[in-house]
Structures are given as structure tokens and as C-alpha cells.
Amino acid sequence: MLAKASLAYFLTTTHLPIMAEKLETLEDLFQEQLKDLYSAENQLLKAMPSMASEAKDQRLMQSLELHRQETENQVTRLEQIAQERSIDLGGHTCKAMQGLIAEGMETLSEDATDEVKDAALIASAQRIEHYEIAGYGTAAHYAERLGYDTAASLLRQTLQEEQNTDTKLNDLAKSYINQKAM
């Protein structure tokens, strides 16, 4: 188990800000999770066009473009929930998404063949989808537990889109893109 002293040490050595507000209830945690998702989705919206433009395979490019459009709706859904529940979504940066995008861009900037680049693009995109699936699964469950039916249903819609995207990327990789990269 992580001792409290070592957690404080971790926070100071990694320069992560210690949260000013105390989280006392599942409601507090729900709001924090929504802020994290909102930051993650907005970072993605900015990064997705450059990631999609690196795709050489037509079906991969189309899947990424479709998911960019879905991501716009996902941002709107989070805003709808925030409005309904009077939550301020600003002032938080999802550091995990910053890292996932940075790592994806780093891989794409390497000198690689088109085929390997497409496979790498799927690897990065699936990491991102898995992160989102974890976040939305948790947030949707919190919303259900708190009795927020509209929020739960909106979060489940997004979760379904993330899962569909992950499945589509997995199918592309396994049906021919990884084979072409060999």
C-alpha cells in the first residue's frame, strides 16, 4: 500500500498540483471525473486532425474522421450534463491525455514507412480509446449511483461510441493493416 508520506513525495517530485478542494462525496468525485473527461476530449479535438492527416489507409482515415465528428458531440454531451447539474467544467487539465497525445505524435514523427505509420497510428488511437472507455465507464456508473438518469444516459452514449471506435480500429489492424506493416 502507498503510504501517505510517499504520495506527498510523489506529488512534489512530479510537480503535480495538490488539489485545493477537498473531495468529500461521490458527487465531488463525479464532478472531478467530468472535468477530466472534458479536458481530455477538448485536447483530442485539437489533436485529431493532425493525427488523421497522417493516415495513408483510406478506411483508417475515414474512421478517424468519423470519430472526430463524434468527439464534437461528446464535448456537447459533457456541456449538457454540466449545465443540467450546474457544474463548472473549466480549470482542469487531463495530464494523461496530454501524455497519450504527446507519445502518439512522437511516434508519428519518426521516420517510418506508410504501412508502419498506419499500424502505429492505430496503436496510439487505441490507447486513447481505452483511456476514454475507462473514464466514461466510471463516470456513467457514478451518475447511475447518484440517480442522475439523463447524465448516465448521455455518458453511456459516449461510452458506446468509444467502444465502437476501439472495435473498428482493432478490426482494421487485425484484418490487414498490421499484415501490411510486416
How far apart CA 33 and CA 159 sit, in angstroms, is 14
Residues 110 and 98: their CA atoms lie apart, in Å, by: 19
C-alpha cell at 104: 502518439
Minimum distance, C-beta of residue 95 to Fe ion, in the bound complex (Å): 17
Does residue 54 touch Fe ion according to CB under 5 A?
A: no
Compute the least distance from the CB of residue 40 to Fe ion, in Å: 7
From candidates 36, 54, 118, 162, binder to Fe ion by CB under 5 A: 162
Q: Does residue 166 bind Fe ion (CB under 5 A)?
A: no
User: 31 or 63, CB closer to Fe ion?
Assistant: 63
Tell the smallest beta-carbon distance from residue 173 to Fe ion (Å).
16
* Interface with Fe ion, residue 31, by CB under 5 A: no
Per-residue cell: 143: 451518475
CA gap 79, 40 in Å, rounded = 13
Q: What character string, x for contact with Fe ion (CB under 5 A) and - otherwise, covers 110-149?
A: ----------------------x-----------------
Q: Rule CB under 5 A: is residue 74 a binding residue for Fe ion? A: yes
| 36 binds Fe ion, rule: CB under 5 A | no
User: Please, are residues 35 and 96 in contact by the beta-carbon 8 Å criterion?
Assistant: no
Report H helices in 1-148.
4-13, 26-53, 58-84, 95-108, 114-146
Tell me the C-alpha distance between 70 and 112, whole Å.
Answer: 29
Q: CB-hemisphere CA count at 13 Å for 3? A: 3
Shortest Cβ distance from residue 151 to Fe ion (Å)? Answer: 16
Closest approach, Cβ 135 to Fe ion, in A, equals 9
**27 or 43: CB nearest Fe ion:** 43
Q: Please report, as ranges, the residues that interact with Fe ion according to CB under 5 A.
A: 71, 74, 132, 162
